[in-house]
Amino acid sequence: MNTVLSLVDFAALSPLFVVLATALILLLLECFSKTAAKKYSLFLTALGIVLAIYAAWAAPISHNPLLTPWIRFDDLARLFTLLFLSIGLGAALLSDSFFDRFEASRGEYYFLLLSSLFGLILVGSAADFLTFFLGLETLSVSLYVLCGYMKKWQISQESSIKYFLIGSLAAAFLLYGIALIYGAVGTTRFDALLNGYKALTVLSDQRLFLAGIAFVTFGLAFKAAIVPFHTWAPDVYEGAPTPVTAFMAVGTKAGAFAAFTVIFLYSLPQFNVLWNECIALLAFPTLIYANFVAMKQTQLRRFFAYSGISHAGFLLIPLAVGTSEAIPALVFYLAVYAFATLGAFAGLSFLETRQEGVMLSDLKGLFKRSPWIAGLISICLLTLGGIPPTIGFLAKFYLFKIAFQAGYYSLVIVALFTTILSAYYYLRIVGIMLSESSTKEEIHPSSWPAGIVGFVSVIALIFFSFFPDNLYRILF
Amino acid sequence: MSLLMWLFVIPFFSACVAFLLPITGKNLKKIAFVLSLIPLALLVYGFPDLIGSEVKYSWMPLLSIEFYLKVDSLSFLFLALTAVIIPISILPVHSSTLNMPNFFYGWVLLLEGLLIGFFTAHDLAIFTLFWEAMLIPLYFIMNVWGGPQRHQAAIKFLIYMIAGSFLMVAAILGLFLAAGTFNLETLQHVAAAGKYAPWICAVFLLAFAVKTPLFPFHAWLPDAYCQASTSGTILLSALLSKAGIYGILRIGMGLFPLIMKEWSPFLLGLSIAGVFYGGLAAWLQKDYKRLIAYSSFSHVNFILVALFVWNQTAEAGGILQALNHGVTIAALFLVAGWLEERIGTTAFGKESGLAKYMPQLCWLTLFFVLSSVALPGTNSFIGELMILFGLFVVNPWQAAFLALSVILSVIYMLRWMQLIYFQEPAPFQNRWVDIHKRELCIAFPLILLVLWIGIYPAPVLKLIQPSAIKMEKTQ
């Protein structure tokens, strides 16, 4: 057996290494020179992520038996890696405008951001429950700290401790589930799960396995904030600094669904109809509850928490369907969601002046005061609402199509009904931006990195609305 | 690019120009007006070669959606109406007082592009896309520019519209599942065969009925028409209701002829009820904008009667009347808007005898009122006559009953004229100035259309004939 890692293997792992190395350099920089850290942190982070994107794009595939049991080097893993890195880049650039307003050390912040990105990539490319869990915990632990990054903000303290407690609980469930699965099939490797499950003949073993699956689903549902495991999300999103909220709304959500995809669509495709039906059962309350509650929100970070939960509901549809088309539909939706949410947060980051974040009333008359920012936010919100002719409509349409083909009619009808509600609250925000305002204060994009995020996401959304096929071809 | 593609793309470019141009005021209005005229120019230039032309791109092969636009004679008529009404809806705007002018013109031009796409779409997914997308500019036009209760009216409008069509996506997916394509021409042969065809048809019909609106799905209409600005009301009444009618013709009659025929007695009953309900409601209004809103509702239901009679003459009359109604109702809301500017209210009873101070506005209003009540020689006369004739062939009693509604429309329309323009003149106020040449010029093309269709309808009827014949073949 080959026991040496060759250069190809290192190259195959390079995205992870680059992210890790950048993170460590940032930490060192912060130790030695605060001023240098303040100046160059963002630049270094962006450079590191761009390098990692290149590495992920160009990385060879490793067949070394030392690595393949732990990490996958297939197309799906590469796709998720690229998606996460782009999200990370967006979140890092967004943070710049936050640090313009609020004073805090930057090196540590970007270090934590990169660590969580490292965890995310590991989740997306894990080939074993152990690496998967490792990734998930790296992601979560960094995020616990990031949520409370503004140490003196009371809302952040609440947010951080809440996230930590509930997150650890979820992790415990997840780990217990993994243990049960191991007990049933005797392995934690993803590629052996399906055959292991099929080979189970004794009913009690099957039950053990399903119990394990239930716990794993339970743990992931916590991370993805699916009703009824969502209660932490609004408070945590509300209290966290805005760029962290953006990263959680996009990155964690994408991570949780990547985990769902890798475990249930990729490794255990349609292993048991029961699971699909349970997921469909979770989708109903998630869609209905989140959309109803989102209508009443006035703090925008909190609003995005509920909007994120409702999108999690939509993302559950392909999971419930579980056909071969489910993965492309899910990733397509995820990509559109990521672009639109990051774009919206880029717009919001210019408006932020206090720790409570942006309130709905701050948006009054924004079209008159700052038409560009208002236009940016509107396009992103219309996309999130799935309002034609934006790409958001097609993303939803794709989900509905596969659900319809698989016979989940009631799910489609409920989802269509909730799109009415979501259209209402997204359009209401745009309506507020178009209304008259009492203040005449104009807001100009203050930070160019956040401006880039907004610009790129809007251009991408508009372009893909006209040529949606290109997005699909880029992804697959 | 083919002419059709230009026709489709230019309004979107125009909308971008209007959104992004850093100018305001009169110049912007001029630019927007000229841009809105381009599609009309293209239609005139392309006639009659445009009919039958098509554009087909593979748009999202993954979902088997094709970007497939095609103009047939039915599409062409509705395109022409759109191209005429959009410039007219831009003209009554006062560029000096208009709030956020870039957005206003941008939304109107965007709506034009979406309507052109909608009236030519031959792929069901694209059709639905435009159908839903149309709401967005309209919602914003209503929400930002209009009366004091515009926010509520706009939300009510939006909720009704989305609720009406929210199952449409499920319906087209149902059709896709049965046929494996969204192509309307292929669907024509297979759509009605499916097990759930009546349900799918009902979902489409509901969406179209809410937008048109068919009685009793009209609750959004009075508030929306009254609270929107003059331009917004013109767009709603002249174009949006036609989108519903076009939908019934294209999807209802086109894909599910037998089911529609089976349901037609019931639908006919609803629309006749709508004609009288609208007429009686208009009679009771204390506000002339609401009065016109209800009269529009009544007339639109008259058109729906024509579609549900299931007779070739009535159908042709219905399509003609759809165009007539577009022209006449735009003109009525236009003159009502001018009146509102001058007297500052839309309520009856405050001012009267205005004919003495504003004779030209009075005669202009009277002209369009007469067109609305279908005086011989005006456009509506031809349309209503054809509808009544068609209905008479099928059921003389119903025709006789429906003809009473013509009298009803005379009563409520002349009541408006009587209360505002005639009667004892109120004391003069300074702002009561008669309309200028500029306003006459805006109304002139509408006058021309009213008289042209009223006196020499043959060219238009020739265009309508193919779609009406097609309908009879499917029986």
pLDDT tens digits, A56-69: 988 888 888 888 88
Q: Residue B341 carries which DSSP code?
A: H
Question: What pLDDT band is residue A469 in, cutting at 50, 70 and 90?
Answer: confident
Mean of the per-residue pLDDT values of chain A: 89
Give the chain A residue nearest B178 (alpha carbons): A405
Q: Which residues of A fall within a CB distance of 8 Å from B99?
A: 436
Question: What pLDDT band is residue B54 in, cutting at 50, 70 and 90?
Answer: confident
pLDDT tops 60 at residue A79: yes
Q: What is the DSSP annotation of A366-411?
A: HHHH-HHHHHHHHHHHHHHTT-TTSHHHHHHHHHHHHHHHTT-HHH
pLDDT tens digits, A407-421: 899 999 999 989 888
Question: What pLDDT band is residue B473 in, cutting at 50, 70 and 90?
Answer: low
| pLDDT score for A303 | 92
Mean pLDDT score, A304-308: 92
Best residue of B5, B8, B21, B62 to probe chain A, by most A CBs closer than 10 Å: B62
Mean pLDDT score, B155-161: 87
| pLDDT score for B472 | 59
Of A44-48, A134-138, B166-170, least confident by mean pLDDT is: B166-170
Of A20-29, A98-107, B30-39, B244-253, least confident by mean pLDDT is: A98-107
The burial class, CB within 10 Å (0-12 / 13-18 / 19+), for A101 is: middle
* Dihedral sign computed on CA atoms, order A59, A65, A66, A67: positive
pLDDT tens digits, B205-227: 999 999 888 888 888 888 888 88
| pLDDT score for B50 | 84
B159–A424 C-beta distance less than 8 A: yes
| pLDDT score for B467 | 74
Question: What pLDDT band is residue B439 in, cutting at 50, 70 and 90?
Answer: confident
User: Higher pLDDT residue, B265 or A443?
Assistant: B265
Mean of the per-residue pLDDT values of chain B: 87
| pLDDT score for B345 | 80
Q: Name the percent of chain A lying above pLDDT 70.
A: 100
| pLDDT score for A1 | 58
pLDDT tops 90 at residue A379: yes
Q: What is the DSSP annotation of B412-475?
A: HHHHHHHHHTSSSPPPP-TT-PPP-HHHHHHHHHHHHHHHHHHH--HHHHHHHHHHHHHHHHT-
pLDDT tops 70 at residue B171: yes
Best residue of A291, A295, A387 to probe chain B, by most B CBs closer than 10 Å: A387
Could you tell me if A8 and A60 are in contact, meaning their C-beta atoms sit under 8 angstroms apart? Answer: yes
Q: Name the percent of chain B lying above pLDDT 70.
A: 98
- CB count within 10 Å of CB A105 equals 15
A398–B62 C-beta distance less than 8 A: yes
Question: What pLDDT band is residue B466 in, cutting at 50, 70 and 90?
Answer: confident
Q: Residue B63 carries which DSSP code?
A: G
List the structure tokens of B187.
């669907």
- 3-state SS class at B183: strand
Which strand (E) or helix (H) includes residue A199?
helix A193-199
| pLDDT score for A456 | 93
Give the chain B residue nearest A379 (alpha carbons): B136
Question: What pLDDT band is residue B57 in, cutting at 50, 70 and 90?
Answer: confident
Could you tell me if A252 and A223 are in contact, meaning their C-beta atoms sit under 8 angstroms apart? Answer: yes
CA distance B232 to A420: 23
* Cβ partners under 8 Å of residue A431, min gap 6: B139, B140, B143, B144, B151, B154
Mean pLDDT score, B260-275: 91
User: Higher pLDDT residue, A181 or B25?
Assistant: A181
User: Higher pLDDT residue, B116 or A448?
Assistant: B116
pLDDT tops 60 at residue B475: no
Question: What pLDDT band is residue A201 in, cutting at 50, 70 and 90?
Answer: confident
CB half-sphere exposure, A303, CA atoms < 13 A: 23
Q: Residue A435 carries which DSSP code?
A: S
| pLDDT score for B471 | 62
Q: What is the dihedral of CA B363, B274, B237, B119, to 10 degrees?
A: -130
Q: Which residues of B fall within a CB distance of 8 Å from A368?
A: 100
Q: How far is B212 from chain A (nearest CA, A)?
A: 20
Question: What pLDDT band is residue B368 in, cutting at 50, 70 and 90?
Answer: very high
List the structure tokens of A48.
């590191």
- At residue A188, what is the residue type? T
pTM: 0.91
ipTM: 0.88
pLDDT tens digits, A156-170: 888 899 999 999 999
Could you tell me if A319 and A326 are in contact, meaning their C-beta atoms sit under 8 angstroms apart? Answer: yes
Tell me which residue of B130, B10, B4, B122 sits closest to B66, measured CA to CA.
B122
Instruction: Report yes or no: A400 at the B interface, CB cutoff 8 Å.
Output: yes
Give the chain A residue nearest B145 (alpha carbons): A435
pLDDT tops 90 at residue A89: yes
pLDDT tops 90 at residue A258: yes
| pLDDT score for A335 | 93
* Cβ partners under 8 Å of residue A78, min gap 6: A56, A57, A59, A125
Mean pLDDT score, B295-313: 90
pLDDT tops 80 at residue A433: yes
Q: Which residues of A fall within a CB distance of 8 Å from B62?
A: 328, 398, 469, 472
Beta strands at B65-70 and B54-60: parallel, antiparallel or unpaired: antiparallel
Instruction: Report yes or no: B66 at the A interface, CB cutoff 8 Å.
Output: no
Q: Name the percent of chain B lying above pLDDT 90.
A: 30
| pLDDT score for A380 | 94
CB-nearest partner of B173 from A368, A401, A472 = A401
Q: Name the percent of chain A lying above pLDDT 90.
A: 52
| pLDDT score for B216 | 87
| pLDDT score for B23 | 81
Mean pLDDT score, A230-255: 90
| pLDDT score for B474 | 55
pLDDT tens digits, A8-17: 888 888 999 9
Of A252-256, B183-187, B193-197, B299-303, least confident by mean pLDDT is: B193-197
Question: What pLDDT band is residue A7 in, cutting at 50, 70 and 90?
Answer: confident
pLDDT tops 80 at residue A441: no
Contacts of B182-185 spanning 24+ positions with Cβ under 8 A: B182/B64, B182/B65, B182/B66, B182/B123, B182/B124, B182/B125, B182/B126, B183/B66, B183/B68, B183/B122, B183/B123, B183/B124, B184/B122, B184/B123, B184/B124, B184/B127, B184/B250, B184/B254, B184/B255, B185/B122
Question: What pLDDT band is residue A314 in, cutting at 50, 70 and 90?
Answer: very high
Q: How far is A144 from chain B (nearest CA, A)?
A: 40
Instruction: Report yes or no: B162 at the A interface, CB cutoff 8 Å.
Output: yes
